[in-house]
Amino acid sequence: MLSQVILAPFLAPFLVEAASVSFSAATAFQAPSEIVTSSNVLTLTKKLSVKGYNARSAATLLGLSKIPTSPHSTTLISLFIGEEFATEITFGTETFESIVDTGSSDTWIIESGFTCVNITDSAPLPEADCYFGPTYNVTDTFKQIPDENFNITYGDGEFLTGIVGYEYITLAGIKVRQEVPLVNYAAWEGDGTTSGLIGLAYPGM
């Protein structure tokens, strides 16, 4: 107790100094840039799977048949009804509707002559049972990458495999030549109109 009384006078100047410190907000180095609207815009359309709900939605994967609502909340239509969004994308010279997916980074298209299989046991099924839209016909603009394959499984159990190559892709008016998979083996529950998926997430996903 005595040591506390003796030390107190020595600490007082430091406490006073600390109490006099002031802070100011950081100053921006430059003015904010002007917001410019791009002419390269995706037009989205709602899609509903043949099951009547989106099997890849968070609501379905969490086992929620209905999203709870209250007078104090807003319902997310895409989760409540199970809808997906699609837009047009061009592979080479062929244009397709594809699902827009912000939860994956792979952009792929279904190839003509693909094999459709059952999700649970991989038993062969008619192509129509995968419910894809039009299929991509390989042309001279597609250049396959030797010994490189595509293989992905989604959270609901759907899975796809195929080959990988370079093709000219046009999306929202922007044309690039990039590496893309062509799916030739699919366990898929589509919506009857979309032919692939546009992965807009970071590459790590």
| Angle, CA of 149, 162 and 198, to the nearest 5° | 100
| pLDDT number for residue 5 | 39
Across 45-52, average pLDDT? 70
CA atoms of 157 and 188, how far apart (whole Å): 9
| pLDDT number for residue 12 | 44
Does the pLDDT value for residue 73 go beyond 90? no
| pLDDT number for residue 31 | 72
12 domain-assigned = no
Reported as a single tens digit per residue, the pLDDT across 78-116 is 434 556 888 899 999 999 999 988 888 999 999 999 999
CA atoms of 123 and 116, how far apart (whole Å): 9
pLDDT tier at 61, thresholds 50, 70, 90: low
Torsion angle, alpha carbons of 186, 193, 63, 107, to 10: 60
Structure tokens at 201: 């997430």
> Hey, is 161 helix, strand or coil?
strand
26 domain-assigned = no
Domain containing 78 — which CATH number?
2.40.70.10
128 domain-assigned = yes
CA atoms of 29 and 68, how far apart (whole Å): 46
Express as a percent the part of the chain with pLDDT over 70: 66
21 domain-assigned = no
49 domain-assigned = yes
| pLDDT number for residue 28 | 56
| pLDDT number for residue 80 | 41
Structure tokens at 53: 């709900």
| Domains: count for the chain | 1
57 domain-assigned = yes
| pLDDT number for residue 121 | 96
pLDDT tier at 205, thresholds 50, 70, 90: low
CA atoms of 30 and 70, how far apart (whole Å): 44
| pLDDT number for residue 33 | 73
Across 133-153, average pLDDT? 96
32 domain-assigned = no
Task: Look at 103 and 35; give whichever has higher pLDDT.
Answer: 103
19 domain-assigned = no
Q: What residues make up the domain containing 64?
A: 45-199
Does the pLDDT value for residue 201 go beyond 90? no
| pLDDT number for residue 11 | 40
Across 65-78, average pLDDT? 44
